[in-house]
A and B are shown apart, each in its own frame.
Chain A
Amino acid sequence: MELADRAVGFVLSFISITIFTYYTFWVIILPFVDSNHFIHKYFLPQEYAILIPVTAGVALLCFISIFIGYVMLKSKKKKA
């Protein structure tokens, strides 16, 4: 049981560290690098560095509001 917990915890922290390093590289280090360097092949164009977090945030907000609305409707229908 605790091995499964440890595995899930490890996967979560690994994902978070990966996202953090990738994003740091993307936003902070890449603008200082020459545009002819090979490393630019591994990173998407810079506009996506803004688009992807903003779309993820908007999707999260939508999901939360839909969920809250659904729960409220269900509770109202059960009372009536």
Chain B
Amino acid sequence: MKHIVKIITLLMAITTVWVGLLQTSTIPSSHTWLLPIYCVVSLGCYGLLMVGVGLMQFPTCPQEALLLQQDIVEAKSYLKQRGIDVNGS
């Protein structure tokens, strides 16, 4: 419940700032009308950019991958000895 209240308060604050900007024309009026949509679009763009950058910088660990494959082969042979078959499903 408290989280929703926080989010709504934040939205109210942003709306009052926007209406205040509309009343006192520090920025030209046509720009102020387009400001919310511009903010939403740029927020979406920023999220996409962060996803792309994270994808590009994701570290793969080739040695660990090799060790993991060896572990899997070991575990499979061990379990097969004990009579449990884990070869895919």
Contact = CB atoms under 8 A, between A and B. Distances in A.
B19 interface: no
Contacts, number: 71
B56 A6 contact: yes
B38 to A, nearest CB: 5
Given A27-B38, A53-B37, A13 B58 contact: no
B60 A9 contact: no
A31 B27 CA distance: 13
Contacts of A13: 48-49, 52-53, 56
Contacts of A24: 38, 42
A49 interface: yes
Contacts of A8: 52, 55
Interface of B: 28, 30-31, 34, 37-38, 40-42, 45-46, 48-49, 51-58, 60
